[in-house]
Amino acid sequence: MANILLLEDDTSLNRGISLKLEKEGYKMLSAFRVSQAEEMFREHEVSLIISDITMEDGDGLEFCRSIRRVSDVHLIFLTALDQEVDIVNGYDAGADDYITKPFSLMVLISKVNALMRRIGQDQDDRGQMLFSRDIRVQCREMRVYKGDEELILSKKEIQLLLYFLENPKQILSKEQLLEAVWDVDAQFVDDNTVPVTISRLKKRIAGDEDYEYIKNVRGLGYLWTAEVSGK
C-alpha cells in the first residue's frame, strides 16, 4: 500500500481528501504544519506528497525545495495561488504537478491514481537512449543532458520532453499532451499548465542556442523540430 503525505492546514479539507484517498486504497499521512510534515517524511517511506503552499508555520515552496535536496519523491501542490508566476514558482521549486483551488476532488483523485500508476512504468517501458541535436536522454534513468551538462528538470518536464522525442516533427495538440503527460482530460486542467510547462522546458533545453527545439504552431499545438535518433 502506497503512502501519501498530505500537508494541508485546513482541517476539514485535509480530512476530506484523506478519507477519499483512503477509499482509493492509499495509506494517508496527514500533516497540518510544515514541521509535522517534515517529521513524517523522515519517519515513513512516502510515494507521493500533496502540499499546500501558504502555511501558518512555513512555506510549502521551501518545504518542497528541502525535499528535493534529499529525494525525488513525486509532489503535487494544491493551493489557492493561481497566478502564472505562482505556477512557475511551484514548478521551479520541484513540483510534478500544480492544482489550484477551488478544485474537483474527483480530478485530484484521478491525477493521483494516474501518477501512482505511472511511477516506475516509464523506467520499465523505456530502456533506450534518445538523441536530438545536442540533447541526450537516458530514458530508463530519466536523466537529460545538453552536451556534457546534465539538465535539472522536473519529472513532468522530462515526461513532456520524452513525449516530444517519441513523436518528433508531429504537431501535438494541447489535448494530446494532457492525455499523454498528465493523464487527464483538458477540461480538468488549468489553461496555463501546458504552455507554462512547455515555456520552462524550452528555456532549459535551449541554453545559449538560438535553435528552436519546440515550435508553437498557432491554433494547432506544438512541434519538436529536430531529428531524433535512439538506441
Query: Helix 193-206 to helix 84-93 angle, to the nearest 10 degrees?
Result: 50
The pTM of the whole model exceeds 0.75: no
Q: Do 106 and 132 lie in a common domain?
A: no
88-138 confidence digits (pLDDT tens): 899 889 898 899 888 888 889 988 888 887 765 554 544 578 999 999 998
The CATH number of whichever domain residue 158 belongs to comes to 1.10.10.10
Helices (DSSP H) in 47-189: which residue ranges?
60-68, 84-93, 105-118, 121-125, 155-166, 174-177
Asked if 113 and 148 sit in the same domain, the reply is no
Residue 15 has what pLDDT? Answer: 95
13 and 111 inside one domain = yes
> Minimal CA–CA distance to 154: which of 64, 79, 58, 54?
64
Same domain, yes or no: 132 and 89:
no
d(CA 89, CA 87) in angstroms, rounded, equals 5
Q: Looking at the structure, do residues 53 and 19 belong to the same domain, yes or no?
A: yes
Q: Give yes or no: residues 156 and 211 share one domain.
A: yes
- Here the cell at position 120 is 516506475
pLDDT at residue 231 is higher than 60: no
Indicate which CATH number applies to the domain containing 84: 3.40.50.2300
Of the candidates 187, 171, 168, the residue with the CA atom closest to the CA atom of residue 179:
187
Domain end point (choices 119, 134, 157): 119
Same domain, 68 and 169: no
Average pLDDT, the chain: 87
pLDDT at 184: 60
Which residue among 85, 119, 153 closes a domain?
A: 119
Kindly state the cell numbers that stand for 134.
545536442
Q: Who wins on pLDDT, 70 or 67?
A: 67
User: What pLDDT does residue 123 have?
Assistant: 46
